[in-house]
């Protein structure tokens, strides 16, 4: 009896869900000639900027910024923690002094990172908490809060992919980047 009822249900589903007989609708508008399109486009307005107002960075400025970024050290964290370790407080202070002094013309981007343990959502939140901890430490060192931006990469930006404790500890970090 169950087989008959089940067969009837399957047959009726197939019957009622059959293929539709609608054919696709094609837009029947006439093609616009290339000349008509060209006539509709307005001329592009140009504007000149005086050289003293220009803020285009030169190659030497970019190399200086890259050199300063190379001097900034990452801040590493313990497993599942976002408090700055005592061993990393000196690095944060030296980074703050460098950012306040030589690179005062630049903004700072703090990128929070995590190891592969935990869900994606958890790791993105933890990376943001780590970046916020470093931000608070930089502000305490006298850096303007308006110069600091934060981003979290969670576990998506590892520097090491081995399955070891040492490798995972390298991925639990906040990296510094300078912004023009």
Q: For residue range 6-55, what is the model confidence (pLDDT) as tens digits?
A: 777 877 766 666 655 555 555 555 554 444 544 444 444 444 444 444 44
Confidence band of 156 (pLDDT split at 50, 70, 90): very high
Domain annotation covers residue 31: no
Domain hosting 135: range is 56-179
Q: Are strands 148-154 and 75-76 parallel, antiparallel or unpaired?
A: unpaired
Cβ–Cβ contacts within 10 Å for residue 114, how many? 30
Q: What CA–CA distances, in Å, run from 40 to 14, 29, 33, 103?
A: 52, 18, 11, 48
Task: Give domain status of residue 7, yes or no.
Answer: no
Number of domains in the chain: 1
Structure-model confidence comparison of residues 68 and 173, the more confident one: 173
| Average pLDDT taken over every residue of the chain | 79
Q: What is the pTM of this model?
A: 0.64
Give me the pLDDT at residue 23, please.
54
Question: Does residue 123 belong to any structural domain of this protein?
Answer: yes
Is 6 part of any domain?
no
Residue 147: give its domain's CATH number: 3.30.1330.60
Residue 157 counted as domain residue: yes
Question: What is the structure's pLDDT at 180?
Answer: 81
Listed residue (153, 148, 154) closest to 179, CA to CA: 148
């Amino acid at each position: 009896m169950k087989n008959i009822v089940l067969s009837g249900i399957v047959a009726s589903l197939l019957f009622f869900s059959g293929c539709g007989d609608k054919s696709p609708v094609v837009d029947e508008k006439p093609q616009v000639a290339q000349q008509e399109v060209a006539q509709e486009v307005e001329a592009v307005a140009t504007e000149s900027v005086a050289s003293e107002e220009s803020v285009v960075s030169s190659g030497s400025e970019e190399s200086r910024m890259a050199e300063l970024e190379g001097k900034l050290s990452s801040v590493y964290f313990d497993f599942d923690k976002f408090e700055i370790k005592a061993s990393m407080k000196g690095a944060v202070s030296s980074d703050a002094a460098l950012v306040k002094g030589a690179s005062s013309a630049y903004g700072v981007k703090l990128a929070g990172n995590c190891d592969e343990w935990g869900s994606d959502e958890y790791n993105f939140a933890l990376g943001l908490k780590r970046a916020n901890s470093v931000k608070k430490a930089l502000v305490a060192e006298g850096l303007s809060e308006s110069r600091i931006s934060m981003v979290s990469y969670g576990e998506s930006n590892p520097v090491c992919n081995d399955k070891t404790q040492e490798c995972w500890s390298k991925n639990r970090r906040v990296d510094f980047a300078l912004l023009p």
